[in-house]
Amino acid sequence: MTAPETTSAATRILSALLEARTGQILSPARSWRIEASLKPILRELGMPTLDPLVAQLSSGRDPALASRVVEALLNNETSFFRDATAFDQLDRDALELLRLNRTASRRLRIWSAACSTGQEAYSLAMLLRDGGPRWAGWTFDILATDASAAAVARARTGRYSRFEIQRGLPVRTMLRWFREDGEDWVADGLLARDIRFATHDIRQPAPGRFDLILCRNVLMYFVVPLRTQVLDHMADALDPGGVLMLGAGETVIGQTERFASHPDMRGLYVAAHEVSRSPLRVATR
């Protein structure tokens, strides 16, 4: 009768470790993810349950193990062109607005925050590179960051399994921008040149200034004060006329006063003090 209580205590300790290291919170309803995510580590160490793992972590004798556990617990769920409706809106509204606002420089600086294994960043690069004459002569600088060093290392290789490459990527696009290499598919070098990958914790100040920031499906794992902190860092990093895109289930309402919904583009956000300015409006094509 005591084993479930011990396991419950173990999951609470591991949840607390994840929150302390990354700010992400696992709700009790999602505590099942802990054991599922840590099964490979348990198997490798010959541990039947989470309890001996927690005991080893609590001893403090193996800092590297704590880092491995946190890496395993991070939610790296992603896919190419994840949420096709969002990418349609990004292309139709946000990128068109930025094309009009950045005509003088003909340069776009984009931050894919919490990029996981890189599919979002490569999707952005493909979207822009397939834009035809609309983007002729433009320079794209996509910075893709994640708190997980392992995820960033994978993203930097541009190498994906057959299962990963087929998630959200039309066959024609796949054949245009990826080459088959054994069991994997590898991104074209032209895409890779548009993207810089780096490890970054979004709880810290932003790693530069940007015209477009994507931070999707991450804030939902944070408590409200931490969401405010992250959004304020992003407000500091967004250049005038820039755009922020969050996940479909996320909003700035009640989180920060520094962003406001774009008056014409539901689900996109701009600096609150810019909302009344006419240059925000997008010309119809």
Place of tokens 């939902």: 220
DSSP three-state, residue 266: coil
Q: Taking Cα atoms as reference points, which of 157, 175, 156 lies closest to residue 166?
A: 175
> For the chain, how far is it from start to end, CA to CA, in angstroms?
67
pLDDT tens across 228-257, in order?
999 999 999 999 999 999 998 899 999 999
- Other CB atoms within 10 Å distance of the CB of residue 126: 24
How many Å apart are CA 103 and CA 51, to the nearest integer? 58
Q: Taking Cα atoms as reference points, which of 269, 201, 196 lies closest to residue 229?
A: 201
pLDDT tens across 131-186, in order?
989 999 999 999 999 999 999 999 999 999 999 999 989 999 999 999 999 999 99
Global confidence as pTM: 0.84
Could you tell me the domains of the chain?
Answer: 3-73 (no CATH), 84-280 (3.40.50.150)
Output the furthest CA–CA distance in the chain (Å, rounded): 70
Confidence class of residue 4 from pLDDT cuts 50, 70 and 90? Answer: very low
Alpha helices in the chain (DSSP H): 3-22, 32-45, 50-59, 63-73, 84-89, 95-101, 119-129, 149-157, 162-166, 171-177, 189-194, 224-237
**pLDDT of 235:** 97
pLDDT tens across 194-229, in order?
999 999 999 999 999 999 999 999 999 899 999 999
pLDDT tens across 175-200, in order?
999 999 999 999 999 998 999 999 99
- Token pair, residue 263, equals 């008056």
Confidence class of residue 6 from pLDDT cuts 50, 70 and 90? Answer: very low
- Token pair, residue 48, equals 């039947």
Q: Is residue 7 scored above 70 in pLDDT? A: no
pLDDT tens across 41-62, in order?
999 999 988 888 989 888 888 8
